[in-house]
Structure 1
Amino acid sequence: MDLLSKLQKEMNSMKELFNSRMATFENSISTQAPAPPAVRDDFNSFKDFIGKMVSGLQNQMDIVLKTLEEMETRSRAGILLLHGVPEAEGEIAPSKNTSMYSISLKVTDICQNRLQLSDITTNSFVSCHRLGKNKAASKPRAILIKFSCSRTRDVVWAAKKLLKGSGFTLSEFLTNTRHAVFLEARRIYGVKGSWTSDGRIVVVCPDGSRHKITTMDELRALPLPSDANGAALKSTASVGAEASGEPVLPNAANATSAAAARRVLPNRGTRK
């Protein structure tokens, strides 16, 4: 769990503790001998004051997290993830430079032959590397591709449909929060009704309207599909973050710090 997610969780715990303590104290006042009106008025004033302070802190945190979320999204704008490329033994043992070079050659070959982009060379990338540690799993790790310029990235992204049937897929490198929103959107609206564009989730509603969203709250506000399972799926979206252990707060963003954004966190992709 990153630092800001931990801070957000602690904020939730503080709110729950405050509400619990206030409820306990208020109950003790009611069950015991009637308190003087002045005491009861002071208690209510104190409760309202603390409640407003907690809400104010929450609003400030939401603004900070949303800003950091946007910063991290922009830092990932020149990155794509390539899935399905088998791992070779030579990628594991040699030096980082050799490994990076061999992976770059693989990516270049796919771009030139599968995507029909003959202008793509190894110089088109700042770096190419596998995400996460190699655990000898049957499923190959995704390759993170950081492009030397945004235009090259956009050209490759626009040609991704040519990978259909090849076993390879391209995805954007979403933040943790947006990745979770995307998974819920896809579960509700299906593969054809949800995808990503420039770090945002595009959802096609039953009436044909398109919406670009970034948060769970925005997803929950959209019209449900007409199928019988829509309501059940939408209700799942409302508890998805809580079930996964993430704090459920309005407009909250599970952003990482700017330093973490520069490190480029693994394992967050959006296949289309």
Structure 2
Amino acid sequence: MESLKALSAIEQQVAAISRSTDALEMRSRRGILLLHGIREQKDENLCELSLSLFSNHLGGLKLSADQICKSVRLGLPKQDKPRPLMIKFFSEVVRDSVWYAKAGFKGTGITISESLSC
């Protein structure tokens, strides 16, 4: 009987740790957006590319390189489809300004999505 209580306590602890880990992962993804449909080029500067896209399509949104923490392509290269571009912003306010201006990409073939956990 005592071993069942101990097992139950361990299961509760594992569930609590799992919830905590999920919350931390979601918090770490809050500053990230994914851009889809951007053709890949050899030796591309992803930070400059993303800043150029934002300034050209998002209604005068002025961003600088110091507002972007990281820009990387996700996954392995494919011949038929460009990899998504992950952009991590230093500020959630800047990330949100890009997110809410995303309608500027309408008709360009470029889409923006949030980085949600699986």
TM-score strictly above 0.5: yes
Q: Give distance in 2, aligned partners of 1:69 and 1:137.
A: 34
Q: Give distance in 2, aligned partners of 1:74 and 1:117.
A: 29
Deviation at 1:125, TM superposition (A): 0.8
What corresponds to 1:132 in structure 2? Answer: 75
Q: Could you tell me which of 9, 20, 25 is aligned with 1:67?
A: 20
Deviation at 1:65, TM superposition (A): 0.7
Q: Could you tell me which of 117, 128, 147 is aligned with 2:60?
A: 117
Alpha-carbon displacement from aligned partner over 1:109-134 (angstroms, at most 9, x marks no partner): 21111112341132321121111232
Letter in 2 for 1:160: K
Q: Give distance in 1, aligned partners of 2:26 and 2:105.
A: 25
Q: Give distance in 1, aligned partners of 2:91 and 2:41.
A: 28
Letter in 2 for 1:89: K
Deviation at 1:150, TM superposition (A): 1.7
Q: Give distance in 1, aligned partners of 2:7 and 2:111.
A: 45
Q: Could you tell me which of 48, 57, 60 is aligned with 1:105?
A: 48
CA distance 1:164–1:51, shift in 2 (3 Å): farther
Q: Give distance in 1, aligned partners of 2:42 and 2:21.
A: 38
Equivalenced residues, count: 118
Please identify which structure carries the higher strand content. 2
Letter in 1 for 2:66: N
Letter in 2 for 1:164: K
What runs of 5+ residues in structure 2 fail to find an aligned partner? none
What corresponds to 1:37 in structure 2? Answer: none
What runs of 5+ residues in structure 1 fail to find an aligned partner? 1-45, 92-101, 177-272
- Largest Rg, 1 or 2: 1
Deviation at 1:56, TM superposition (A): 2.5
Q: Give distance in 1, aligned partners of 2:15 and 2:104.
A: 40
Q: Give distance in 2, aligned partners of 1:55 and 1:169.
A: 46
Q: Give distance in 1, aligned partners of 2:27 and 2:84.
A: 21
Q: Give distance in 1, aligned partners of 2:103 and 2:3.
A: 54
Letter in 2 for 1:172: E
The aligned runs of 1:220-231 (5 Å cut-off) are none
Find out whether 1:53 has 2:6 as its counterpart: yes
Deviation at 1:50, TM superposition (A): 4.2
Alpha-carbon displacement from aligned partner over 1:6-48 (angstroms, at most 9, x marks no partner): xxxxxxxxxxxxxxxxxxxxxxxxxxxxxxxxxxxxxxxx5xx
Deviation at 1:162, TM superposition (A): 2.4
TM-score normalised per structure 2: 0.86
Find out whether 1:168 has 2:91 as its counterpart: no
**Seq. identity, %:** 34
RMSD (Å) for aligned C-alpha atoms? 1.8
Letter in 2 for 1:63: A
Q: Give distance in 2, aligned partners of 1:81 and 1:108.
A: 14
Give the secondary-structure state (helix, strand or coil) at the position aligned to 1:58: helix
Q: Could you tell me which of 67, 75, 90 is aligned with 1:148?
A: 90
Alpha-carbon displacement from aligned partner over 1:75-122 (angstroms, at most 9, x marks no partner): 12111111111111224xxxxxxxxxx111221121111112341132
Letter in 2 for 1:112: S
Q: Give distance in 2, aligned partners of 1:139 and 1:110.
A: 19
What corresponds to 1:251 in structure 2? Answer: none
Alpha-carbon displacement from aligned partner over 1:179-224 (angstroms, at most 9, x marks no partner): xxxxxxxxxxxxxxxxxxxxxxxxxxxxxxxxxxxxxxxxxxxxxx
